[in-house]
Amino acid sequence: MSAGTRPRPPSRRRFLLVAVLAPLLVAALIAWTDSEYARSLRLQSAAARSFDRERAQVMLLSAMKDAETAQRGYLLTGNAAFLGPYAPARRFVTRLRAVEGVADPEVAALIDTKFAELDRTLALSRAGRREAARAAVADGEGRRVMDRLRAALARAGVSERALTAERRAAFARQRSELRLLLLATGAMLTLALALTLRSLWRSRREAYDAALDAYEKGERNAAILRGTSDALLILNPSGTIEMINDAAGALLGYTPEELERRDVATVLRIAEGSGGFHERIGLDDGRLDRPLLTDRVARHRDGSERHVDVAIGVMRVPSGDHLVLSLRDASERARVERAKDELISTIGHELRTPLTSVVGSLALLRGGAAADLPPQAARLVDIADNNARRLIRLINDLLDIDRIESGQLAMARTPLDLREVVARAALDSDGLARSRDVVLADASAGAPVPVEGDAERLLQVVTNLVSNAIHASPAGATVTIAARVEAGRALIAVEDRGEGVPAAVRPRLFERFESGRAATHAPASGLGLAISREIVRRHDGTIWFEDRDGGGTRFAFALPSPGTEPGDAPASDAPLPLPLLLHLDDDPDVRDTVAAALAGVARVLPAASLAMARALLRDGAPDLALLDMQVVDGHGPELAPELVDASGAPVPVVIYSGQVVPPALAARAAVVLTKGRHDLPELVATVRRLLAERHAPVDA
């Protein structure tokens, strides 16, 4: 299941930019519209003023005419009633000429001249000089003034009308522009509103879709969590149970609700000690790199304790690293293991009975119990017999592995001479060697090689090594078997001139189902070396292999040899093949892995405790010591003062540990390597380098 991408928060800067710019734009639009509207008002009032002036000029001329008509009527008739409109017309003219722009200086002068003429003639008439008044009128001066006034006003009117028309046109133009502007602004605002609404809708829709998706995923995960038969707990970064499924509840005797928000320590002992939860459980220091905690104690509600295996997954989420724990009842695992063992055992034994008939019949045929066989039939019987025996070996190997796993591989240890074991192995393998045209040579020492051991099981180891060596050898080659005492230990070596062990399988050669040989030549189940290693281990010994000079492989194992001291080993014709490396580690898997990785580089003396290491040191100092920090009876570096060679020089120390090494303890170490962080090839390279440096002064 893919984890999906982690969502990113929306960009605040981009949002702020839009949030500032959009109102600014709207404000600018409003300001522009407002200024256009004000301009429109100004144009309108200018046009109105022009029109008013134009009308005032017309009314001015009309009032002048009224005044003139009144004067003429009075002069002609002498009737004062004609003078009635004169005074109002004159007042009206005075008011009109006061209107701005109506009377230019010429018009004003003409008006004044006209009124001066009118006043003069009227004064003459009132003084009884009516003829003089009529003569003054008939003189035509008044009419000419009036004509000039009319002409001046007409000119003014023409230009005023043009101005009015112009202003009206400007106003109309501006109005339609304003209208367009308003429409455009309205359209833009509408568009902006529509976009905003659309974006709002989409954002709400997306939020809804995301929420729905999260809900669906949550429901699905919750359903998986609830429904799975595995017992699961989710712990938050402080070690509190955040979620627990029914299976875990059932295993622990609680309902899920009762355990939620409780500390995991209520039910499970996985994070002891002090400090933060992640520190205690080992998330911070890499202890969870192989996140299976086997055989931990879970506390049931009824107070009883259950043994469980805990697989831990780390869930890295924004609120902190959560842990997903999967609990498996270890008793169930044990039951399944037992059932598997029973099955293997049953099948193994059920197969043996019919094979007994097959092998027995074939052996009798070969032995001539029935009749002498024609050569071709004898050959076929040989083939059948060899393969039936191979089947038996396979079944025996399977049953042995079964015994090893169930801890039932018992050793009946008695004092014996390993040379006899070698002789018997040579005898037993003689047929195989002949069939493959390989010569077997027994190069054992002349002196006894005493060990306390199970003769049958040790024979099985040697026979296995010899069989492997024969199968690895080319035709005509020699396989040498030798038993001797070396440095206080009994040593058996089987040497071949085969193609050697391929690099790819070297580190795992002693694991189950690994066969170092080419498949076509592999005689066995791939279990032989695993069984051999176990048998040797049960004898407190070590088994290893190394490349021989000139090609081929040397498999060897060394056992404690009682009654021999390092000093009285007979002078060996070959020097010790490899430098000695003391490896202290209380984890058997680490010991085996390191021994396999260093095969051919050093002879590894494994020790599980300080006591065991000290016992090994009594036989002589190693060339190099590889020490774990914490072992059952103390700290590896405590050995440092005792790690001196015959000349008193300190033996180089490599600390190889999963724990933090305090500086005081690291001071004595040549190199500090951390398990998990430094891989095996690095360890091997370091060992090689230190061993080379150690021997360098001798070469120089």
Partner 1 sequence: MSLRLLFVDDDPDIRTIVELALGLDPTIELRVAASAGEALNALAATHPDAALLDVSMPDMDGPALLAALHDRSPGLPVIFMTAHGRERDVAALRVIGARGVIVKPFDPLSLSAQILALLSG
- Name the residues that contact partner 1, by CB under 8 A: 349-350, 352-353, 355-357, 359-361, 363-364, 367, 369-370, 392, 399, 403, 408, 410, 412
CB of 528 to partner 1, least distance (A): 18
- Adjacent-strand bridge partners of 315: 322
Which is closer to partner 1, CB of 294 or CB of 346? 346
CA 333 to chain centre: 32
Query: How many residues can be counted in the chain?
Result: 700
Which is closer to partner 1, CB of 362 or CB of 621? 362
From CA 451, how far away is CA 458, in angstroms rounded?
10
Q: Are 171 and 126 in contact (CB under 8 A)?
A: no
From CA 351, how far away is CA 358, in angstroms rounded?
11
Q: Is 559 left (phi over 0), alpha (psi -120 to 50) or beta?
A: beta
CA dihedral 632, 582, 536, 526 (to 10 degrees): 100
From CA 76, how far away is CA 69, in angstroms rounded?
10
CB of 361 to partner 1, least distance (A): 6
Sign, Cα dihedral of 158, 162, 163, 167:
positive
CB of 368 to partner 1, least distance (A): 9
CB of 348 to partner 1, least distance (A): 8
CB of 510 to partner 1, least distance (A): 24
From CA 606, how far away is CA 613, in angstroms rounded?
8
Over the range 449-473, which residues count as b (16 or more CB within 10 Å of their CB) and which as e? bbbbbbbebbbbbbbbbbbbbbbbb
Which is closer to partner 1, CB of 24 or CB of 371? 371
Nearest in space to 307 (alpha carbons), one of 297, 317, 292:
297
From CA 693, how far away is CA 243, in angstroms rounded?
56
Which is closer to partner 1, CB of 131 or CB of 350? 350
- 3-class SS shares of the chain: helix, strand, coil, % to 5: 55, 15, 25
Would you list the DSSP string of 459-503?
A: HHHHHHHHHHHHHHSPTT-EEEEEEEEETTEEEEEEE--SS---G
Which is closer to partner 1, CB of 404 or CB of 665? 404
CB of 407 to partner 1, least distance (A): 11
Using H for helix, E for strand and C for coil, what is the string for 612-655?
HHHHHHCCCCCCEEEECCEECCEEHHHHHHHCECCCCCECCEEE
Nearest in space to 673 (alpha carbons), one of 696, 649, 692, 690:
690
Which is closer to partner 1, CB of 307 or CB of 352? 352
Which is closer to partner 1, CB of 411 or CB of 443? 411
CB of 410 to partner 1, least distance (A): 4
CB of 540 to partner 1, least distance (A): 19
CB of 359 to partner 1, least distance (A): 5
CB of 392 to partner 1, least distance (A): 6
Which is closer to partner 1, CB of 160 or CB of 454? 454
CB of 344 to partner 1, least distance (A): 12
CA angle at 448 for the pair 447 and 453, rounded to the nearest 5°: 160
Which is closer to partner 1, CB of 170 or CB of 359? 359
Which is closer to partner 1, CB of 190 or CB of 408? 408
Which is closer to partner 1, CB of 315 or CB of 369? 369
Q: Is 197 left (phi over 0), alpha (psi -120 to 50) or beta?
A: alpha
CB of 394 to partner 1, least distance (A): 13
CB of 363 to partner 1, least distance (A): 5
Which is closer to partner 1, CB of 122 or CB of 363? 363
What number of other Cβ atoms are within 10 A of residue 691's Cβ? 19
Q: Are 262 and 240 in contact (CB under 8 A)?
A: yes
Which is closer to partner 1, CB of 339 or CB of 370? 370
From CA 399, how far away is CA 381, in angstroms rounded?
27
- Adjacent-strand bridge partners of 55: none
Which is closer to partner 1, CB of 190 or CB of 356? 356
CB of 241 to partner 1, least distance (A): 45
Q: Name the DSSP class of 569.
A: S
For residue 102, give both structure tokens: 């109506």
Segments in 78-104 forming alpha helices (H):
86-98
From CA 513, how far away is CA 597, in angstroms rounded?
18
Which is closer to partner 1, CB of 412 or CB of 571? 412
CB of 524 to partner 1, least distance (A): 18
